[in-house]
C-alpha cells in the first residue's frame, strides 16, 4: 500500500505539470534545450539615447570573402548609432605598403554610416599588431615620419566622419610597464612614440576625441600601469581625452566592483570612458577546450551577465560616452577563430558573445538590456 502511494504521487505530479504546461501553451523548461529567440521590438540605440552611444564593429570584407556587413545585417545595423571598422582602418589594411593606401573597405563603412545617420569610432592608428613592418623600419626619424604621414593621411580623409579615434592601442604590457617589444617602442628606444601619436593626431583634429585603448584595463595592476603611463607621459596635455576599455569579458570577469572602480578612477583623471570592444565570452576564455551548445542554461547566464553589466553602465552614463560591441550577432565573432588558433589549436570552439543570435534574432540578453 505504502509502495503504491509512493509511486502514485510522482506520477500524479508529472501528469499535473504536463497538464499545466499544455494549458498555458508551452513545454516544461529544459535547461539544455534550445533557447527562445525574439524579433527585437526596440532599437538598442533608441533605448540608450539618454545614456550613451551604442556602436558595433563591422567587417567590410572578411579576409577575402566579399561578405559585406551591409548585405549581411540589414535588419540589425539600425540598432547602432555608431560603427567601427573591425579591421578596415588598421594600419596593415589601410596602408599595406609605404604611400600606397587601400581606402576602399573603410570608405564603404564610412559611406554606409553617413547614409544611415551613424557616427564612426576609428580604430586604430598606432598598434604593435596588424601593422606592416615597413612602418617601423629605419631610423627613429624615419619611423616618426611614417607615423606622422599615416596619422595625417588617415585622419584627414575621415575628418568629417570620425568623432573619436583609438590613437594608440595596447601599449602597456601584461607583465607591467610598457610593451617593450612593440616595434614602435623598439624603433624609438622608449615610449615617446605614444606622445608623438597623440601630438600628431591632435594637430590634425583638435576636436576629435582621442583615446588610449587597451584590454584588461579593469585588472588593478594593468590599470595602475595605464594610469601611470598617462600621467608620466602627460598624454592629456598632448590631446588624450578618453580611455578605451576594450571589454573582452566573460561570465565571471571582471567583477562589477572592480569595473566601477576603474570607471571612477579614469573619470577622476578627467577622461571620458569608452567601452570599445564589448563581447562576453560564454566560456571561461583561455584554456577552455570544451565545445558547448548555446542552451537554455547558457542563455540565462549570459542574460544575467548582460543585465548586470548594462545596469552598471547606465548608472555611469555621466562618465561613459560610448559602448561598442565587437561584432553584431553570434554568426561572426573573432572569439571563434582567435581562441581556436591561439589556445585551442585544431579545436572548434564556437562562442555566443552577443545579444543577437546566429540567425540574427534577439536573445534573452537583448530583452534584459532593453527592458529595465
User: Which residues lie near ligand XIL (CB under 6 A)?
Assistant: 86-87, 169, 246, 277, 334
Interatomic CA distance for residues 97 and 134, integer angstroms: 7
Residue nearest to ligand XIL (CB): 334
Shortest distance (Å) from residue 79 CB to ligand XIL: 19
CA–CA distance, 313 with 322 (Å, rounded to integer): 10
Q: Closest CB to ligand XIL among 239 and 244?
A: 244
Neighbours of 225 (CB within 10 A): 22
Checking DSSP bridges between strand 248-250 and strand 240-245, what pairing results, if any?
A: unpaired
Q: Which is nearer to ligand XIL, 197 or 303 (CB)?
A: 197
3-state DSSP assignment of residue 187? helix
Question: Which residue, 40 or 353, is less far from ligand XIL as judged by CB?
Answer: 353
Q: In this complex, which beta carbon is closest to ligand XIL, that of residue 35 or of residue 80?
A: 80
- Take residue 351 and report the three cell numbers written for it: 562562442
- How far CA 102 is from CA of 67, 106, 131, in Å, comes to 18, 8, 13
Contacts of 263 (CB under 8 A, 6+ apart): 273, 316, 319, 320
Selected catalytic residue, list 86, 170, 272, 364 = 170
Give the residue from 353, 214, 234 showing the smallest Cα distance to 274: 214
* 3-state SS assignment for residue 126: strand
Written as one string, the DSSP assignment of 54-65 is EEEEE-SS-TTS
Of 272 and 277, nearer to ligand XIL (C-beta) is 277
How near is the Cβ of 322 to ligand XIL at its closest, in Å? 15
| 277: annotated active-site residue | yes
**Least spacing, CB of residue 85 vs ligand XIL, in Å:** 9
Which residue matches cell numbers 565587437?
Answer: 326
Q: With respect to ligand XIL, which residue has the nearer C-beta, 169 or 322?
A: 169
CA-closest candidate to residue 165, choices 201, 194, 139: 201
Distance in Å, CB of 277 to ligand XIL, minimum: 6
Q: How far is the CB of 28 from ligand XIL (least distance, A)?
A: 39
* Cα–Cα dist 37/360, whole Å: 9
Please count the other Cβ atoms lying within 10 Å of the Cβ belonging to residue 129.
12
Distance in Å, CB of 39 to ligand XIL, minimum: 28
* Catalytic, out of 86, 272, 277, 364: 277
Q: Which residues are catalytic?
A: 170, 277
Amino acid at each position: 500500500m505504502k509502495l503504491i502511494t509512493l509511486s502514485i504521487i510522482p506520477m500524479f505530479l508529472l501528469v499535473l505539470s504536463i497538464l499545466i504546461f499544455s494549458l498555458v501553451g508551452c513545454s516544461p523548461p529544459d535547461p539544455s534545450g534550445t533557447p527562445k529567440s525574439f524579433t527585437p521590438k526596440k532599437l538598442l540605440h533608441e533605448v540608450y539615447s539618454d545614456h550613451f552611444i551604442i556602436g558595433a564593429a563591422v567587417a567590410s570584407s572578411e579576409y577575402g570573402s566579399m561578405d559585406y556587413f551591409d548585405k549581411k545585417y540589414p535588419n540589425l545595423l539600425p540598432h547602432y548609432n555608431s560603427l567601427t571598422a573591425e579591421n578596415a582602418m588598421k594600419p596593415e589594411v589601410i596602408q599595406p605598403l609605404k604611400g600606397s593606401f587601400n581606402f576602399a573597405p573603410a570608405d564603404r563603412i564610412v559611406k554606409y554610416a553617413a547614409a544611415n545617420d551613424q557616427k564612426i569610432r576609428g580604430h586604430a592608428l598606432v598598434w604593435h599588431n596588424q601593422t606592416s613592418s615597413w612602418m617601423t623600419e629605419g631610423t627613429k626619424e624615419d619611423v616618426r615620419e611614417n607615423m606622422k604621414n599615416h596619422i595625417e593621411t588617415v585622419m584627414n580623409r575621415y575628418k568629417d566622419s570620425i568623432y573619436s579615434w583609438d590613437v594608440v592601442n595596447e601599449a602597456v604590457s601584461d607583465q607591467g610597464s610598457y610593451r617593450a617589444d612593440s616595434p614602435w617602442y623598439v624603433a624609438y628606444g622608449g615610449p615617446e612614440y605614444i606622445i608623438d601619436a597623440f601630438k600628431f593626431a591632435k594637430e590634425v583634429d583638435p576636436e576629435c576625441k582621442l583615446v588610449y585603448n587597451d584590454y584588461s584595463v579593469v585588472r588593478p595592476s594593468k590599470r595602475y600601469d595605464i594610469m601611470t603611463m598617462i600621467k608620466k607621459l602627460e598624454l592629456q596635455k598632448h590631446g588624450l581625452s578618453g580611455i578605451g576599455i576594450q571589454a573582452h569579458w566573460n561570465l565571471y570577469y571582471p567583477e562589477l566592483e572592480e569595473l566601477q572602480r576603474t570607471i571612477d578612477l579614469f573619470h577622476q583623471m578627467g577622461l571620458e570612458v569608452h567601452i570599445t570592444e564589448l563581447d562576453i565570452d560564454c566560456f571561461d576564455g583561455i584554456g577552455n577546450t570544451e565545445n558547448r551548445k548555446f542552451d537554455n542554461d547558457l542563455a540565462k547566464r549570459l542574460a544575467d551577465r548582460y543585465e548586470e553589466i548594462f545596469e552598471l553602465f547606465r548608472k555611469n552614463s555621466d562618465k561613459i560616452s560610448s559602448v561598442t560591441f565587437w561584432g553584431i550577432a553570434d554568426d561572426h565573432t573573432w572569439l571563434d577563430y582567435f581562441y581556436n588558433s591561439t589556445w585551442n589549436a585544431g579545436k572548434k570552439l564556437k562562442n555566443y558573445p552577443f545579444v543577437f543570435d546566429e540567425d540574427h534574432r534577439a536573445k534573452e540578453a537583448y530583452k534584459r538590456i532593453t527592458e529595465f
